[in-house]
Amino acid sequence: MNVQLNLNKKIFTPKAYPYIFNYSHRWEFWYGGAASSKSYSITQKLIIRACREKITIAVCRRYGSTLRNSCFSLFKEILAKWKLTSYVKIKETDMSIEFPNGSKIIHLGLDDEQKLLSINNVGCFWIEEAFEVPKEIVEQINLRMRAKNENQQIIMSWNPISKNSWIYDFVEVNPPKDSIKLHFTFKDNPFISQSYIDAMEDMRVRNPAKARVYYYGEYGVNPEGLVLTNWRVEDFNEMELARTLERRAGMDIGFVDKSAIIDTLYDRENKTIYVFNEFYKSGCQLGELAGAIRDMGLAKTKVFVDSAEARSIDYFRQEGLRAEACKKGAGSVKAGLMFLQDNLIVVSPKCKNFITELENFSYIKSKQTGEYTDNTTHEWSHAIDACRYGYSDIYTNTRLKTVNKASLGI
């Protein structure tokens, strides 16, 4: 029995609406900037199709561990909004959703090749973050959909970055027959917050190269010389995330220079840092910084502070705060930056100073050679240092140590 839907057209993004009920193209390419409603609109499309006809839909990402808090969570959110939760069977263990008419939505990590080979009779594949997926896997998926069933589809979605990728040639240069290309930006999404729009407009002025790639969804390369490019601005619910993620905070003290306190949540499994609150001010005294810690709700949270500030740490402890000296040593700055580079950093649009530093924190060029060195700009490092300090116990314990070859017998 198909599920009857009574949906108002206003719940759909206008630019996506013509394609929500259209299954005629074998290949659909949805790409563009962040917060453009690509993933949300595709999820709406697939739920509607599962309600209207009996079909198996496979939702895929490169790594299975990233599906639960992204695609699967989005399906559950929309099913709840449409009051369909009582009509479907949601299985948390294998992230599957079963419909009364026999339709099924499954979630599949493309790092599990055996599981991919075992799946049959899929009428639609959605490959999210397709930039991460090797071309060979997409070709394999296409080969597995050779049955003569009508309206079989492979939907791919991604935020474009570099033209030096197979996906650029596949979509832009030599696209497959029976394909359609849909480009979106945040301007196509009428549901995003004004604070997000303001952050995008600020980015367009301050860092147009990054804005073109990340928010206007144009192909390009990361701006030259930036230390951190693995970040994005995004609205998220820190209260909800805090239920399962660990809270981490760091402080960089500058009595004349900028002082910064950065409050984050860490998803270890998916290597994602969520930055949701900041304090950023010049000329602060210790009493004001202690007050800021309390105002940010960090009175009972361990706050990692530059270990060179022993007197400051003692003061905070006397104030009843959980100040902790961050671990430092030879190579710790480089190890900390490598740690940040190895994680995705998701920043709330509220943290404007942290965003500004990310946009400008860069390597310094050698005046002799014109090449970039390992040295970085100090002016844009305060909030980033604070964030780095908050994870110092992780990267100082895991970074590689230098070992004498003789001790290994080689």
Please state the domain count of the chain. Answer: 2
Question: 170-179, 295-304, 391-400: lowest mean pLDDT where?
Answer: 391-400
Instruction: Let me know the angle formed at the C-alpha of 258 by 255 and 261, rounded to the nearest 5 degrees.
Output: 100
The DSSP string of 172-234 is IISPPSSEEEEEE-GGG-TTS-HHHHHHHHHHHHH-HHHHHHHTS-----PPTTBS--SEEE-
Report CA 359 to chain centroid distance, whole Å.
17
Beta-bridge partner residues of 32: 184
Q: Count of CB atoms within 10 A of residue 331's CB?
A: 14
Q: Are residues 168 and 235 in the same domain?
A: no
Give domain status of residue 100, yes or no: yes
d(CA 99, CA 271): 33
Give domain status of residue 217, yes or no: no
Question: 50-59, 152-161, 240-249: lowest mean pLDDT where?
Answer: 152-161
Q: Are residues 182 and 231 in the same domain?
A: no
Give domain status of residue 198, yes or no: no
d(CA 47, CA 80): 12
Please name which of 255, 302, 297 lies closest in space to residue 276, comparing C-alpha atoms: 297
CATH of the domain at 23: 3.40.50.300
Run of H or E including 137: helix 135-143
d(CA 69, CA 85): 18
d(CA 313, CA 316): 5
Instruction: Read off the pLDDT of each residue in 257-278 and give the average, rounded to a whole number.
Output: 95
Give domain status of residue 177, yes or no: yes
Instruction: State whether residue 170 is helix, strand or coil.
Output: helix
pLDDT value at residue 353: 94
pLDDT value at residue 406: 35
Give the pLDDT band (50/70/90) at residue 401: very low
Instruction: State whether residue 364 is helix, strand or coil.
Output: strand
pLDDT 10s digits, 101-121: 999 999 999 987 777 777 888
Of 188, 209, 232, which closes a domain? Answer: 188
Of 188, 209, 243, which closes a domain? Answer: 188
Q: Are residues 150 and 229 in the same domain?
A: no
Residue 79 has pLDDT above 70, yes or no: yes
> What radius of gyration do the chain's Cα atoms show?
24
Of 161, 188, 215, which closes a domain? Answer: 188
The two structure tokens encoding residue 383: 């909030």
Q: Are residues 241 and 356 in the same domain?
A: yes
pLDDT value at residue 224: 63
Q: Are residues 236 and 358 in the same domain?
A: yes
Q: Are residues 232 and 307 in the same domain?
A: yes
Give domain status of residue 180, yes or no: yes
Give domain status of residue 135, yes or no: yes
- Who contacts 375 (Cβ-Cβ below 8 Å, separation ≥6)? 363, 364
Q: What is the mean pLDDT of the chain?
A: 88
Q: Are residues 126 and 75 in the same domain?
A: yes
pLDDT value at residue 307: 84
Looking up tokens 């900028």 gives 258
- Alpha-helix residue ranges (DSSP H) falling in 252-391: 286-295, 310-318, 332-341, 352-360, 382-389
d(CA 208, CA 162): 16
| Domain of 152, in residue numbers | 9-188
CATH of the domain at 335: 3.30.420.280
Q: Are residues 300 and 383 in the same domain?
A: yes
Residue burial 99-130, b: 16+ Cβ < 10 Å; e: rest:
bebebbbbbbbbeeeeebeeeeebbbbbbbbb
pLDDT value at residue 113: 76
Q: Are residues 165 and 297 in the same domain?
A: no
Residue 200 has pLDDT above 70, yes or no: yes
Give domain status of residue 4, yes or no: no
- φ and ψ at 186, to 5 degrees? -60, -20
Instruction: State whether residue 138 is helix, strand or coil.
Output: helix
Q: Are residues 22 and 101 in the same domain?
A: yes
pLDDT value at residue 400: 38
pLDDT value at residue 399: 45
pLDDT value at residue 214: 77
Q: Are residues 64 and 157 in the same domain?
A: yes
d(CA 250, CA 324): 9
d(CA 126, CA 123): 10
d(CA 102, CA 51): 9
d(CA 11, CA 365): 50
- Alpha-helix residue ranges (DSSP H) falling in 21-82: 38-52, 73-81
Give domain status of residue 129, yes or no: yes
Question: 13-22, 188-197, 297-306, 384-393: lowest mean pLDDT where?
Answer: 188-197
Q: Could you tell me how many residues make up the chain?
A: 410
Higher pLDDT, 149 or 64: 64
Q: Are residues 19 and 153 in the same domain?
A: yes
Please name which of 342, 333, 339, 335 lies closest in space to residue 375, comparing C-alpha atoms: 333
d(CA 367, CA 276): 38
